[in-house]
Each structure stands twice: as structure tokens, then as C-alpha cells.
Chains A and B, each alone.
Chain A
Amino acid sequence: MNNRILGLLFGACLTMSFDAMAAPVEVTLWHMEQPPHRVARIQEIIDAFNAAHPDIKVKQEPQNWGEVYAKAPAALAAGAGPDMLFAIPDFTPVLKNIGALTSVSDFVGELDKEHHFVKSAVQSYSYDGGIWAVPLYNMAMNLWYRKSVLDAAGLKVPETWSDWKAASEKLSTNGVFGMGLPANKQLYTDQTIYSVMVNGGATEIFNEDGSFRFNNPQTVAALDYYSSLQKLSPPDSTSWTWGEAEACFVSKSCGMIMQFSVISSYDTQGGGDPADLGVAAIPHADGETGHNTIAYANAVMLLSKDDAKRKASEEFVRYLLQPETYGKFLNMEPGLFMPVTEDGAKSESFWSDPMVQKYRSQVETIIANSQNGKLFGFTSGRTFPSIAAVSAQNVIAETLQMIVVGGKTAADAVAAGQDRMVEVAK
């Protein structure tokens, strides 16, 4: 008799525990890191997370940068959007404007206490009384060269704009293009131009009140300099998107280029001798001091309005930023993604990656450079929503094209560029 009751109780307990183990909360992550090896690495991390958290099931859907600007708002409007979405600073205002975001300042505060974010990374997402995304990884623009090539030409690493021009000219012999600069109406070109602007005193494109101050003498000087340097680039640089500059450098057709990182392709396609790969901070204008660069703090936006999914997403982000996981996450593309947290920058998982170890000195330089990173539209501690349209339509690059392709003077082009910014911001 007793056994029977025990049996029943046991059965009841089992059933109850089965009920308690309800279906796991499913959350979807959209990101734009589509190359297969990056997708594979993210999947590894997701699998480990799912195993450690049986009540949560994370799923990734890699998306294309070209489409996601259209797709994400459309999907959200149709109720089919993701729970987590990676972003860059100028993509976030778009989603904020359609009401898809709620402030994550509490969550960021909690993470900050534990991991200590790089200030500029959080700043890019802080405005209008809230923080709209959690910083995840950083990318900063650097100047890349081959040490042997500079040595053979008797050149030092350029520090100022005049050094830079002289070096580029000297390296332009025998069919080599001394400096490979893009001049396309595209984000990469925006980035390289702005990297030059921040080193020439033209960092701010907004006034305090949100009006544009793109048209100023420093911007004109910076664009004038850039366009003169661009003359030394290959003829098809007006159609370069993301990879051509790197391909040019790796094939030794370009002496120097600006890029976030060339480590991967240099290693597989360019000879792979770490001792010869040189990276330096972007040269500054002759009157300036210190080196600046453009830095893109990538982040993750939390989109679910459902409480359980929200909590599950937060759990996943917490997991990502743990030093043991974080390094693995960053090294989905070694040398390209830099840590945005203090403990991440020191983590074993980051530095133990074979590629990072192989190119250790280069990675250290990149991290050091990124400390002085800035991003146009997010520099004054205040962010104006109009930056989204300016960035999406590549107005800075468009201005350069007026000079390089359209034959305008820098002064005329910058004035027209300002007008264009005002127009797209309407």
C-alpha cells in the first residue's frame, strides 16, 4: 500500500517537473557577419550557451548589410522581427524612430560595473535620455604598410600629412600605387575620409543645436588633401567597396592603404610574414598633434517587447561579454574586432588565439589606436537623428566624388555637401 502511494507521488513529481521544464524561450539573433567562418564561430558560442541554459534557445540568422536597412524595419513592422539585432551607431536611430527600442541603460550599467566599457563605445549609443544598444565590439581605422617596402625606399613611417604625401609619391613607381584610397559613394569611403578629417581638426560636423557645420575651412583642407592623395590610387578606386583596397595591398599593387584590419587576407593571400606587416596610426595634419581615427563601436539592440524573451536576450549578452567567451567571439575574425571592455582587453580567450598571437604587435597597436576613436555624428556626447540619413546616403563620400569625379574645387564641393546634408536630413 505504502509503495503504491510512494509510486504515485513519485509519478506526480516527475510529471510536475516535466511541466516545469516547459518549452525553452526562443530568441532570434540577426547579425551581419555573414562570412562562413564567422557564422560557424557564432554558432559554436550559441551551442555552448544553449547547452548551459536549457530554458533558452538562441538561433542566429545572418543577414546582408545591403538588405538589412530595408528588411529590419519591414520585418519589425510585420511582427516578424528578431529579438536581438547587431548594429552600428547610425543604424540605431532608424529603429529608435519607429519605436522598436527601449532604453537599456540599467542593463548597460550593470555590465559596466562588471566589465568596464570603453567610454566612447557607450557614448555612441547614449542620447535622448537613454542608452539604446549594448556595445559589443570595436573597429578602428589604421594605416597599413609593408616595412620592407618603406625601408627599401628609405622612408620613415609617416606622421604628418606632408610626410604621408611624400611617402605615397615615392612609393608610386614600377606600376605600384603608393596609396590606395577609395573614392566610391559608399561607407568605406565615408570612413577613410572621416579618418583624415579627424586628424585635421574637422571632427565635428554638427553644431550644438543640431545644425550642420560640415562646411568649414578644416573640412575643406581635409578633403582637398584627400583628393590630392587619391590621385595616386588605382583608376578603379572610384568603384571600390569593401575588399578591393585590401586586395590591392595584399597583391603588392598598393604600397599603403587605410583599413580596419588586413591581417586575415594578408595571412592567407599576401605572404603572411608577420614581421613585415606594419600598422600605424593615421597621420595628422601638419599643425595638429596626436593621432585620431574613426572607430565603429558595434553593438546589439534588444528588440523584444515580450518579458521572457527580453530576459533571455539579456542572459545571452551577459554570456557573450564574459571574458572566457568574449575572446572567442571577437576572434571570429582575428585582428578585425577589438574588445570594448577592460577585462575583455586582458582576457586569455582573446590573446590565446593563434592568429592574434602571430600578429600580436599589430593587434596591440590597433587597440592603442582605437582609444582615440571617433565617429561622425556621435562626437559631442549628443546624437542627432539626422546622422542616419547622412550616413545611409554616404554624403561625405558623395562630396569627395564631386571633387574627384565631378572636377569641383574642394571649397565648392564641401559647400554643396553641406547643402546635401541639409536636404537629406529633412
Chain B
Amino acid sequence: MQKSRSLAIVFVAPALIVLTGILGWPLVSAVLLSMQDVRTIGSAGQWIGLHNYQAVLSNQSFWMAVAMSIIWVVANAAAQTALALITALTLNQNFPGVRIVRTWVILTWIVPTVVVVIIWRWLFSTSGGMINPLLAQAGMIDRPIGFFSTPWTAMATLIFINSWRWFPFIALMMLAGLTRIPSDLYEAARIDGANGWRSFTRITWPLLAPTLGVLTVVGTLLSFNVFDIIWLMTAGGPAGGTRTLPIIIYETAFKGYKLSEAATMSVLATILLMAFALLASRTLMREDDR
């Protein structure tokens, strides 16, 4: 066992060094910053203890951003899980061209975010876009819709775009989980007279649960921290309607020139996420592979 231990450490150390090195120092630095009063990057700051925390926690904008982030995460999770599950079940079938579809369904994930932003900003715009005229032609609207003109429509539209970008990736991860389920189980169920729904609830869902568990935890973390799509499309607007926590942190740091305050919000956000991750992984991530 001794040999195994030192070998294990050799195997694991490089990865751990990279992770703690790149993520560890910034976290410590953020905590240190949050207890000073640094404004612009590079300017000096003085120690003010937990003053920033008091200011941030009593700031309404912060809590609104937290609320926005929660809405964002939940809505994305719902949309993406639904879309991904349907897609995964579809791709798990056998039909002509299944290989091609499985390969190319992920097209929306492999393109850079800026391209996604451009595509949808163009498609949804009222001058030269495609969506509004199509809706008009189909007789569904008589005035063009401003997809980003009110807080709720902007949020809904962004959720759609973000889900469009991510659901194929999630779907393929689910597909991976689905293909691990031995087909004899389905055969046996069919022989026993079970229909599609029963096979799903009795076989598919329980055996897919571990995969879904991990995807939920990691997916939530990634979703919460989505910055570029929101920033590039609405910059948190209109009227703060899409101002999630990452957005307000960025704004505070680089537009409000209050670096320490931004660091404080970052630390709070990290604590929130870590708490969620620890709780969720305990309940959702059961040992799936032994």
C-alpha cells in the first residue's frame, strides 16, 4: 500500500498543483482585497476589515442580482434539462442517419460565444432580422417584437439563447449515460409487458440518475457563472433586468472602479456556490461507478 500511496500522489499531484496554484491564490487575493478599500486597479488601499461586507449585504442591488442569478440558473436548468433529455432519448434510437445527427447536434456548443451573440442579435433585431418577419408572415404578430426591450422578454430570450448553446452538450452527456444502460433490461421489461412510460420511469430514470446528478451540480455552477453571453447581449439590461451576480461584479470592478467591493461580492458568491455544491453533491452525486 505504501507504494500505491506515493505513486498515487505522483499521479495526482501535477493536476492538483495546477488547480490550487491558478485558483488558490486568486481566491486568497480576493479575500484580502475585500477587506481593503481599493478603487481602481493598481491604486493603494487601506484595511477596513469587514466594512465592505456590511455595505454589500445591505445593498439592495446585490440582493436583486442574487435573485436574478437564481432565476437564471433555475430557468436554464429547466429548459436545458428538458431539451437535453428529449434530445438524448431521440438520439438513443436507431434510425437512418443517426450517426450524423449525433455528431453534428453539438454544433451550437463548438462555436465561440461571440458568434452565438452575433447570430441571435441579428436574428432577433427589428431591422434586418429574420425572426420578426417570419412571425409576421405566419400571422402570429402584427407589430415586431422587441425581444430585448423589456426586462422579462430580455431574460426569457437570453435563457433561450443560452439553452440553445448548451443543451446539445448536456444531451450528449446524457446519451453517454443512456448507452450504459444494458439493452437487455429494456428487453426484459418489454417481455413483461411494460410500455414506454414504465420503462422510462423504472429503468431509464433510476439508472440515469447518477449522471443527471453530476450534470446538475456542474451545470448549475457553470450556469451561475455565465458572463460573456449576458454581457455581450444585454450588459445586464434593460433597466437591470438581466443583471446577474457575475454582471454586477464586473460592472462594479471595471465600470464603477470599486475593485474591493467587487471582490467582496465575488467572495460572497463563491461561498454561496460552494455551499450549494457541497450540499448538492452529497445528495445528488452518489457513487455511480464501482
Tell me the A residues contacting B by CB distance below 8 Å: 69-70, 73-74, 76-77, 94, 97-99, 183-186, 234-239, 244, 247-248, 251, 253-254, 388-389, 392-393, 398, 401-402, 405-406, 424
8 shortest interchain CB distances as A-B pairs:
A235-B146, A77-B42, A239-B148, A70-B254, A236-B146, A392-B255, A405-B239, A401-B239
Q: Are A94 and B144 in contact (CB under 8 A)?
A: no
What are 15 A-B residue pairs whose CB atoms fall within 8 Å in the complex? A69-B254, A70-B254, A76-B42, A185-B235, A185-B237, A186-B237, A239-B147, A239-B149, A239-B154, A239-B238, A244-B125, A247-B125, A389-B257, A401-B239, A405-B150
How far is B161's CA from A239's CA once the two chains are assembled, in angstroms?
Answer: 16
Tell me the smallest distance from the CB of A99 to a CB of chain B, in Å: 8
Q: Are B238 and A185 in contact (CB under 8 A)?
A: yes
Q: Are A236 and B255 in contact (CB under 8 A)?
A: no
Cβ contact of B127, chosen from A77, A97, A234, A405, cutoff 8 A: A234
Q: Are A393 and B238 in contact (CB under 8 A)?
A: no
Q: Are B146 and A238 in contact (CB under 8 A)?
A: yes
Q: Are B126 and A73 in contact (CB under 8 A)?
A: no
On chain B, the residues within 8 Å of A392 by CB distance are 255-257
On chain A, the residues within 8 Å of B39 by CB distance are 97
- What mask results when residues 22 to 54 of chain B are scored 1 for a CB within 8 Å of chain A, else 0? 000000000000000001111100000000000
B211 is an interface residue with CB less than 8 A from chain A: no
Q: On chain B, which size bracket covers the interface? A: 20 to 34
Closest to A72 in B: B41
Tell me the smallest distance from the CB of B47 to a CB of chain A, in Å: 19
B249 is an interface residue with CB less than 8 A from chain A: no
Closest to B146 in A: A235
Most chain A CB within 10 A, of B145, B146, B239, is at B239
How far is B251's CA from A389's CA once the two chains are assembled, in angstroms?
Answer: 11
- What mask results when residues 212 to 235 of chain B are scored 1 for a CB within 8 Å of chain A, else 0? 000000000000000000000111
Q: Are A238 and B238 in contact (CB under 8 A)?
A: yes
B143 is an interface residue with CB less than 8 A from chain A: yes
B151 is an interface residue with CB less than 8 A from chain A: yes
Identify 13 new A-B residue pairs, CB closer than 8 A, beyond the known A98-B43, A235-B146, A247-B128.
Answer: A69-B254, A70-B254, A185-B238, A186-B235, A234-B146, A235-B149, A236-B124, A236-B146, A236-B148, A238-B150, A253-B126, A253-B127, A389-B255
- What mask results when residues 146 to 184 of chain B are scored 1 for a CB within 8 Å of chain A, else 0? 111111001000000000000000000000000000000
Tell me the smallest distance from the CB of B232 to a CB of chain A, in Å: 8
On chain B, the residues within 8 Å of A234 by CB distance are 126-127, 144, 146
Q: Are A238 and B257 in contact (CB under 8 A)?
A: no
B236 is an interface residue with CB less than 8 A from chain A: yes
Closest to A81 in B: B42
B253 is an interface residue with CB less than 8 A from chain A: yes
Q: Are B237 and A247 in contact (CB under 8 A)?
A: no
Tell me the smallest distance from the CB of B271 to a CB of chain A, in Å: 24
Cβ contact of B257, chosen from A74, A94, A185, cutoff 8 A: A94
With A251-B128, A424-B256 as contacts: A238 and B237 at CB distance below 8 Å: yes
Closest to A253 in B: B127
Interface residues of B in 233-290 (CB under 8 A from A): 233-239, 241, 251, 253-257
Q: Are B237 and A184 in contact (CB under 8 A)?
A: yes
On chain A, the residues within 8 Å of B149 by CB distance are 235-239, 405
How far is B239's CA from A267's CA once the two chains are assembled, in angstroms?
Answer: 35
Closest to B43 in A: A98
How far is B128's CA from A389's CA once the two chains are assembled, in angstroms?
Answer: 35
On chain B, the residues within 8 Å of A74 by CB distance are 41-42
- What mask results when residues 112 to 126 of chain B are scored 1 for a CB within 8 Å of chain A, else 0? 000000000000111
On chain A, the residues within 8 Å of B253 by CB distance are 70
Q: Are A235 and B143 in contact (CB under 8 A)?
A: yes
How far is B43's CA from A99's CA once the two chains are assembled, in angstroms?
Answer: 8
Closest to B147 in A: A236
How far is B255's CA from A186's CA once the two chains are assembled, in angstroms?
Answer: 12
